[in-house]
Amino acid sequence: MAVSTGKRAGSAAAGVAESAFAPLRHLAFAVLWTATVVSNIGTWMHEVAAGWLMTSLSPSPMLVALVQTATTLPVFLFALPAGALADIVDRRRLLIIVQTGLALTAALLGTLVLAGAMTPMLLLALTFVMGMGAALLAPAWQAIVPRLVPREDLQSAVALNSVGINVSRAVGPAIAGVLIAAVGLWAPFFLNALSFLCVIAALVWWRPAPAPPRWLPPEHLIGALRTGLRYARASVPLRATLARALAFFVFASAYWALLPLIARQLLGGGPTLYGGLLGAVGAGAVGGALLLPRLRARLGADRVVALGTLGTATTLLGFALLREPSVAVVMSLIAGTSWIAVLSSLNVSAQTALPDWVRARGLALFVTVFFGAMSLGSLVWGQLASVAGVPAALLAAAAGAVLAVPVSLRWRLGQGESMDLTPSLHWPAPPAAEAVDEGHGPVLVTVEYDIEPVRTTEFLAALEGLASERRRDGAYAWGIFEDVAVPGRFVESFLVASWLEHLRQHERVTRADAELQARVRAFHRGPDGPVVRHHLARSPGERP
């Protein structure tokens, strides 16, 4: 029996490993993943060099924490426009252009440090520019993942992207620490500039499959932004993911913002120790990613995130109360494992909540919440550390993380995983007696139902989900009205900004939406189905 059990356990472990690395069987994903790992190594070398450089330029805890803020705040400010842009332009071309700009900025940083011309304000300004580039990259990078792997490998691909980030986190800081000590603070910046070239080469090589033809003109940036926000407001799965992200990242930001001070002030170490702690975080994240498929299968995403949050609180307590470098390394390993468990689970939940037409915008909202919470947390914990000391700030963040667990559990993760969000294209073309100007609007759409009066309560309950679906796809002012003279006769109505926006609704409806609409139509009496009518707004005295 023992041998048989051992074989089954070994087979299960092999299955977990195979599942975790399955996306690497797809050449395009493997090439781009490898290139981004190299680039992320350069990015983490930059993070270590920038944080340590600021401790050399100024001992102020606030200025040291502001390096983290300058990195994350631009993403909070610009991710939403970047997501809208990534949904309406060629994502590959956008990525190449932004990567080129980042390479030039990193080279400028290295040149200024080498020349001895760097100042605290200049470092913050150029770090802010690098953060702007990250803001433009993040939604587009995440949105192309479903084009690199089939749907069944999407969850593993998202996790592998996190693994890549954390492999680089394990390697980059260690290399940076050695380079800073042996060569100088300028070296990591130049190597970061070179690392961007790897990604540019991979993107130039990649030839994605042609996107489905667009019969309608692309959205304008402002309209695309408004549509993305409306989708998020009406999407329960996405809103739940964003709430859980906010509850975690505000408190988890404490050790990212204060880690240079933990290494220098609490542990009395130098750049090598700081790089080693960051490397341990990365190593813990890699190990956690390999265990993640099994953990998710046994516990589910909600419990994995709760467990990761408690692990983060444990890390913060350890950093605050213990002063041994070896113990700090163990705490960093726990931090990395907890970080990957939470970040990957939240990212998968966001990905599966979004159809492709709004994917970059939805992911941009996730990135905005992520970096906004990190920026806010960095400011709060940096200021608290300046006033009360680093240990007090870490203890406060740990207490907040623990309290966030029971409060946030009501927002369930992964609600979109069972939904088929591919386009259904089941709506017939709207009939029109003559050609309609695409810009004409607003458009009033009505759907007339004839329901058995005894089924009114069931019908109205089914409409709750339909109302959210209409709003997600671009409708507003949705309502349901019953004929006071004929019980059971209902009219559903909603407005759309223009005829063009209504045509876009036809393209946006998913198979999951089609199933929901079929359940609502099943209440209708009669063989022909509900009557749908389209009405264009007119002004008194207007000529036809």
What pLDDT score does 12 carry? 40
- How far is Cα 306 from Cα 224, in angstroms, rounded to an integer? 34
Q: What is the pLDDT of residues 81-135, one digit of tens each?
A: 888 888 888 888 899 999 999 999 999 988 888 888 888 888 888 888 888 888 8
Q: Which residues of 246-283 are buried (b: 16+ CB within 10 A; e: fewer)?
A: bbbbbbbbbbbbbbbbbbbbbbebebbbbbbbbbbbbb
With 90 as the cut, is the pLDDT of residue 444 above it? yes
**Distance, CA of 372 to CA of 80 (rounded, Å):** 12
User: Which tokens in the block code for residue 8?
Assistant: 């089954």
Lowest mean pLDDT among 13-27, 172-186, 352-366, 430-444: 13-27
Calculate Rg over the CA atoms of the chain. 26
Between 519 and 297, residue with greater pLDDT = 519
Residue whose C-alpha is closest to residue 35's, from 202, 207, 260? 202
Phi, psi for residue 18 in degrees, rounded to 5: -60, -40
Q: Which of 165-174, 234-243, 374-383, 526-535 has the highest mean pLDDT?
A: 234-243
From 129-143, 433-447, 469-483, 494-508, the region with the lowest mean pLDDT: 433-447
Q: For residues 305 and 405, give the distance between their C-alpha atoms in angstroms, rounded to a whole number.
A: 9
Report all structural domains of the chain as residue ranges with CATH numbers, in order of start: 25-207+219-408 (1.20.1250.20), 443-536 (3.30.70.100)
What tens digit of pLDDT does each residue of 388-431 get?
888 899 999 999 999 989 988 889 988 887 788 888 877 887 87
The SS3 of residue 353 is coil
Q: What is the pLDDT of residues 136-163, one digit of tens each?
A: 888 888 888 878 888 777 777 877 787 7
Q: How many CB atoms lie within 10 A of CB 1?
A: 5
To the nearest 10°, report the CA torsion of 119, 124, 126, 132.
180
- Contacts of 455-461 spanning 24+ positions with Cβ under 8 A: 455/523, 456/482, 456/487, 456/488, 458/523, 459/490, 459/520, 459/523
Query: CA torsion 366→197→273→132, rounded to 10°?
Result: -40
Q: Give the mean model confidence (pLDDT) for residues 216-240.
A: 85
Mark residue 530 as left, alpha or beta (left: phi above 0; alpha: psi -120 to 50; beta: remaining): beta
pLDDT, average across residues 162-167? 73
- pLDDT above 90: percentage of residues in the chain: 14
What is the bridge-based pairing of β-strands 476-482 and 489-496? Answer: antiparallel
Instruction: Give the pLDDT mean for 65-79.
Output: 77
What is the reported pLDDT for 433? 56
Confidence (pLDDT) at 544? 57
Tell me if 534 sits within 8 A of 443, measured CB to CB. Answer: yes
Taken as a whole, the chain contains a residue count of 544
Where does residue 432 rank: exposed (0-12), middle (13-18), buried (19+ CB within 10 A)? exposed
Query: What pLDDT is recorded for position 5?
Result: 34
> What CA–CA distance (Å, rounded) separates 132 from 120?
18
CB-facing half-sphere around the CA of 44: CA atoms within 13 A: 27
Give the tens place of pLDDT for each residue, 523-536: 998 778 888 898 88
Whole-number Å distance between alpha carbons of 228 and 202: 30
Q: pLDDT tens digits for 261-272?
A: 888 878 877 777
Q: Is residue 79 predicted with pLDDT exceeding 50?
A: yes
Calpha distance 491→480 (Å, rounded)? 6
- State both tokens at 274: 């700081």
Q: Output the average pLDDT for the chain.
A: 83
Name the one residue in this structure whose structure tokens are 């408004």. Answer: 226
501 has pLDDT over 80: yes
Which band of pLDDT confidence, cut at 50, 70 and 90, is reported for residue 43? Answer: confident
At a CB cut-off of 8 Å and minimum separation 6, what does 212 contact?
none
For 440, the 3-state DSSP assignment is coil
- In what side-by-side order are the strands of the sheet with 531-536? 476-482, 489-496, 443-450, 531-536
169 band by pLDDT with thresholds 50, 70 and 90: low
Please, which pLDDT band fits residue 445 given cuts at 50, 70 and 90? very high
Asked if the model's pLDDT at residue 168 lies above 50, the reply is yes
Q: Is the pLDDT of residue 4 over 60?
A: no
**Nearest-angstrom CA–CA distance, 99 and 102:** 5
Q: Which residues contact 29 (CB under 8 A, 6 or more apart)?
A: 23, 145, 148, 149, 157
Name beta bridge partners: 479: 493
pLDDT at residue 2 greater than cutoff 50: no
Residue 432 has pLDDT above 80, yes or no: no
Q: Are 178 and 50 in contact (CB under 8 A)?
A: no
> Computed from CA positions of residues 258, 262, 264, 265, in that sequence, does the dihedral angle turn out positive or negative?
positive
Please give the pLDDT value at position 47: 79
Give 427's contacts (C-beta < 8 A, 6+ positions apart).
Answer: 505, 506, 509
pLDDT at residue number 374: 83
Residue 14 has pLDDT above 70, yes or no: no
Highest mean pLDDT among 295-299, 420-424, 487-491: 487-491
User: Residues 181-193: what's their mean pLDDT?
Assistant: 85
